[in-house]
Structure 1
Amino acid sequence: MLGENHALFIEFPEMQDKIKELKTSDESFKAMSDRYHQLDHRIRGLECSNIPTEDHHFTQLKMERLQLKDKIYNILMN
């Protein structure tokens, strides 16, 4: 669905406490979650507006968000 919010708290609602804890105690995790949030915000903005973007660029943004989400998930599960 276009414009859907993929914030970490929405993607992993059962892990909200662990996300908050890691964002304050682990600089690497905080940097990843901040980048993920930036990407998600940018992607949603492009999806919800009529701003033209080349498909390759848009796909790259979504791929980076997906890769970050996988890394974040792996950290949360350990």
Structure 2
Amino acid sequence: MHVDHHDLQHEFPEMQDAIVALRHSNPMFERLYATYNRLTGKVEDLEEHDMPVDDFTIEDMKKHRVKLKDDLYHLILAYRAGQRNPKS
């Protein structure tokens, strides 16, 4: 089965510098990033190997992944805004 990859490098290729910087400087971002990657790996593994799983379970996992991605995206945007408008 073909599986679309949802790692942040594929999702936000234009934001790689901010992702790397945040991973090294923001513990909350790193924690969310690690959780997102673990969950993405689980979902992709289930889909790729066509493993039996309850539809509600996989949907809950995907909803959680979307929430994590949204949280990460907002942290990236805030970081980039701070880079453009540094405090004096």
The TM-score by the shorter chain falls in which range?
over 0.9
TM-score where L is the length of structure 1: 0.94
Greater than 2 Å deviation, 4+ residue runs: none
Q: Distance in 2 between matches of 1:50 and 1:76?
A: 33
TM-score where L is the length of structure 2: 0.84
Structure 2 unaligned runs (5+)?
A: 79-88
Give the structure 2 partner of residue 66 of structure 1. 66
Q: Distance in 1 between matches of 2:3 and 2:35?
A: 18
Give the structure 2 partner of residue 14 of structure 1. 14
Q: Distance in 2 between matches of 1:64 and 1:29?
A: 16
Aligned residues: 78
Offset of 1:17 from its aligned partner? 0.6
Aligned-residue identity in percent:
32
Structure 1 unaligned runs (5+)?
A: none
Offset of 1:51 from its aligned partner? 1.3
Give the structure 1 partner of residue 31 of structure 2. 31
Offset of 1:65 from its aligned partner? 0.2
SS of 1:70's equivalent in the other structure is: helix
